[in-house]
Amino acid sequence: MLDDHEREALREIQRRLRVDDPDFAKSFGTGTRRLRGAAAPDLSRRAYTAMLVVSSGFGVILLLAGSPFLALLFAALTVWVWHARAQRDENDRERP
C-alpha cells in the first residue's frame, strides 16, 4: 500500500500526464481495464476444480469399498465445493 505522500505524488504525476499528453494517459486507462479483465490464471478456480475431482473420486472409491456413509459425506462435500465455485464465478461476473 502507498502512504499518503506517495499517493499524492502519484496523483500529481497522473494529473500532469493527462494535461501534457491526453492520448498517452488514455492508453494507460484502457490497458488497465484490459489487464484486469484478462488476469493471470485463477489459482483459486483450479483449487476448486482439484477439490471437485478429489472429493468425487474418493466418494466413488469409498462406495465401491462398501462404505456408503463416507461416500455420501464425500458426495456432500463435492456438492458444496461445486456450489461454492459457482457462487464465486457469479460474484466475479458481477464485478465491473
> Residue 28: its pLDDT value, please?
64
- Grid cell at residue 64: 465401491
Residue-level pLDDT, tens digit, the chain, 96 residues: 667 888 788 888 878 877 887 777 666 655 444 444 444 556 677 887 888 888 889 889 989 999 999 989 988 888 888 888 888 777 766 665
**Cα angle for residues 6, 7, 9 (degrees, 5° grid):** 65
Distances from the Cα of 20 to the Cα of 15, 16, 27, angstroms: 9, 6, 14
Asked whether the beta carbons of 71 and 59 are under 8 A apart, the reply is: yes
- 59 vs 53: CA distance, rounded Å: 10
